[in-house]
Amino acid sequence: MASSKKPRTQEERSAETLARIRRATIDVLYERGFSRTSTTEIAKVAGLSRGAMTHHFASKEEILTDAIAAMLEEVNQRLFAFAEEYGERGGTTDEIVDYIWQFMSDRLFYVTMEYLPETRHNEEFKARLIPVVRRFHEGLDAIWSALARKRGVPEDHARIVMNTTMCIVRGMIAQTVLRQDGGYYADMLAFWKNEVRRQFPAPQKEGSS
């Protein structure tokens, strides 16, 4: 006899709907851009009615902020997990730079480029995003702080290298919009990884001269 499936609770149905809206919002932002992102298009991609959307969110800005926050929180969980693992086992600086390039170029910064200009002109939208982005930077800081402790480098200096790395990576990803050239970016990444290595020299083993 087949077991009967337990019906979902209202909270479970609501959580599933929110997850669909968030995924659809990021998909539309990435595929169509900020100016073409509408509640109608999000509802269509999510497979929901506009009524179901407005039950959860009163405006497009609320939807966007919630979806961006959810996206960054997923990234943050991975960042903090990576930082904890790195702090326990150690590793190379190359590994950190490669990790940042991988997660930033996997849709994350392309989506960021879509909504970031709106924050220049929309103070309410900007205010909603500031705490979300701050949490993201806390995750990055955790990784570089773990590296600083392993290498005996001041954490303030590690933050400078972190922020410089992020600016370089953002600039490279932005350029990929008009220039698709894997070797070009690989050469720049290799150059920067060499510079980062110099900032965090590996501790010498006891007895080495």
SS3 category, 203: coil
Cβ atoms of residues 66 and 74 within 8 Å: no
pLDDT tens for each residue of 101-131: 999 999 999 999 999 999 999 998 899 889 9
DSSP string of 56-109? Answer: H-SSHHHHHHHHHHHHHHHHHHHHHHHHHHHHHH---HHHHHHHHHHHIIIIIH
Could you tell me the pTM of the whole model? 0.85
pLDDT for res 1: 47
* DSSP 8-state class, residue 130: H
Tokens 């499936």: give the residue: 5
pLDDT in tens, the chain (209 residues): 455 567 778 787 888 889 999 999 999 999 999 999 999 999 999 999 888 888 888 888 899 999 999 999 999 999 999 999 998 988 999 999 999 999 999 999 999 999 999 999 999 889 988 998 999 999 999 999 999 999 999 999 999 999 999 999 999 999 999 999 999 999 999 999 999 999 999 776 655 54
Ordered domains of the chain (ranges, CATH): 10-58 (1.10.10.60), 60-199 (1.10.357)
Residue 4, pLDDT score: 59
Distances (CA, A) of 162 to 37, 145, 168, 187, 192: 32, 10, 10, 19, 12
Rounded distance between C-alpha atoms, residue 136 and residue 130, angstroms: 10
Q: Residue 8: its pLDDT value, please?
A: 74
